[in-house]
Amino acid sequence: MYLDPPLAPSEVDFLAGFTSRGDIRRVWPGQPNAYCPWRVSGDGHSLELDLELAGLDPAQVVPWLRFLCHEFLAPSSIEAMHTALAHRLRGGHQVTGTVRVGAHEISALRNRISERVVEPEHQAVVLPFDAARSGGGGSASRVRRRAHRVER
């Protein structure tokens, strides 16, 4: 997920405290669970999914992304904005991008988070058209008639 504008170094350090790899373990009212599956890239330009943590509890990926957006990246209430400013977080960041976790596709467009289940890809059905073209009777004729009906 891309961040615009990128986070400042102090913001990167602050948000790193929510991951399992942070030096400081932050616990915040309303956070979805103990460890955040999202981590900020070193340059502050993106949120990256920690696949190990996401695999342990995939249901927490979307709630954590929403929490980060509404509390820190783009506070959605006056209280959240005051709290963010008190921790030297500027706010006003937009999250945009798409990731896939198992059968779930998670999208963000200007901090609006959506999730959908992606259907597994089906294998193509191969019909014996060569047999139908050869002019043979029986099942090849039925295939030819079906193919003809589909084309109309």
- How far does Cα 68 stand from its chain's mean position? 14
Total Cβ atoms within 10 A of residue 127: 12
Average pLDDT estimate for 28-54: 88
* Mean of per-residue pLDDT scores for the chain: 80
For the cut 80, the answer to whether the pLDDT of residue 145 exceeds it is no
Tokens of 44: 């502050």
User: What's the whole-model pTM score?
Assistant: 0.72
**C-alpha distance from residue 6 to each of 23, 43, 89, 100, 143 (Å):** 22, 8, 12, 23, 58
For the cut 70, the answer to whether the pLDDT of residue 89 exceeds it is yes
Give which of 68, 96, 62 is closest to 80, Cα–Cα: 68
CA atoms within 13 A on the CB side of 150: 7
Q: Can you give the pLDDT at residue 5?
A: 94
Strands 104-109 and 112-117, by their bridges, are antiparallel
pLDDT of 122-131, one tens digit each? 555 666 656 5
